[in-house]
Amino acid sequence: MIVGTKGRGSNMLALVEAGRHGKMPASVELVYGSNPEAPALSAARETGVPVASFSDRETDFDALLIGLLRGYEIDLVCLAGYLRLLPPHVLHAYRNRVLNIHPALLPKFGGKGMFGHHVHEAVLAAGESESGCSVHYVTDAYDEGAVIHQLRCPVMPDDTPDSLAARVLALEHRAYPEAVGMVLAGLTSE
């Protein structure tokens, strides 16, 4: 798992739990975040999963990250709340094996700057009747990789960005383990 500097880590926890309770044919073996003080990394430490943290602004970040992932024999990389693009070398080394979760129904409401409350504000401003979450492959452009799995929910007339975010987040926690299962099923049948 790769978590963001400000993320809560709720998707990371959902994946750890899903793996531990047999709801996903995989287990979280490592959590990386660039900020050792990030709430998501504190949450990860409490689960007992190994945690790694070093700056993603180092010039050799790509080599460090690939070395870390290979050292832990990581097959699939899941991003949650990580707001930067991954270096091309990492995407190449883990081609079609890096996933992200986005709190809207891509291809709508994605792209640079579309994160957190900005997404839900845009959904409400557009008068959408439904929203949801998307798990997609990560490429060298924000939120543009192929969608693997989506779950949908209604947008209520009295929704605020916070109330919509909470409804979508509950879906995220189901969708991510399901998507990991779908990807692994595809990889094993190759």
Catalytic residues: 102
Residue partners of 113: CB distance under 8 A and separation at least 6? none
The answer to whether 139 contacts ligand GRF (rule: CB under 6 A) is no
Minimum Å gap between C-beta 163 and ligand GRF is 14
Other residues' Cβ atoms within 10 Å of the Cβ of residue 185: 10
The answer to whether 131 contacts ligand GRF (rule: CB under 6 A) is no
> Which of positions 35-94 make contact with ligand GRF (CB under 6 A)?
40, 80-81
Return the number of the residue (8 or 23) whose C-beta is nearest ligand GRF. Answer: 8
Rounded Cα gap, residues 187 and 190, in angstroms: 5
Angle at 160 between CA 157 and CA 162, to 5 degrees: 140
E-only strand ranges, 27-182: 31-32, 51-52, 77-80, 98-102, 130-137, 147-154
Output the six-digit token pair for 22. 């047999």
Instruction: Measure CA 169 to chain center.
Output: 12
Other residues' Cβ atoms within 10 Å of the Cβ of residue 12: 26
The answer to whether 149 contacts ligand GRF (rule: CB under 6 A) is no
Return the number of the residue (10 or 139) whose C-beta is nearest ligand GRF. Answer: 10
Rounded Cα gap, residues 138 and 90, in angstroms: 11
The answer to whether 101 contacts ligand GRF (rule: CB under 6 A) is yes
Return the number of the residue (70 or 118) whose C-beta is nearest ligand GRF. Answer: 118
The answer to whether 102 contacts ligand GRF (rule: CB under 6 A) is yes
The answer to whether 172 contacts ligand GRF (rule: CB under 6 A) is yes
Minimum Å gap between C-beta 157 and ligand GRF is 23
Return the number of the residue (63 or 161) whose C-beta is nearest ligand GRF. Answer: 161
Q: Which amino acid, 178?
A: E
Minimum Å gap between C-beta 40 and ligand GRF is 5
The answer to whether 103 contacts ligand GRF (rule: CB under 6 A) is yes
Q: Interacting stretch for ligand GRF, rule CB under 6 A, among 2-10, 69-77, 86-94, 138-146?
A: 2-10
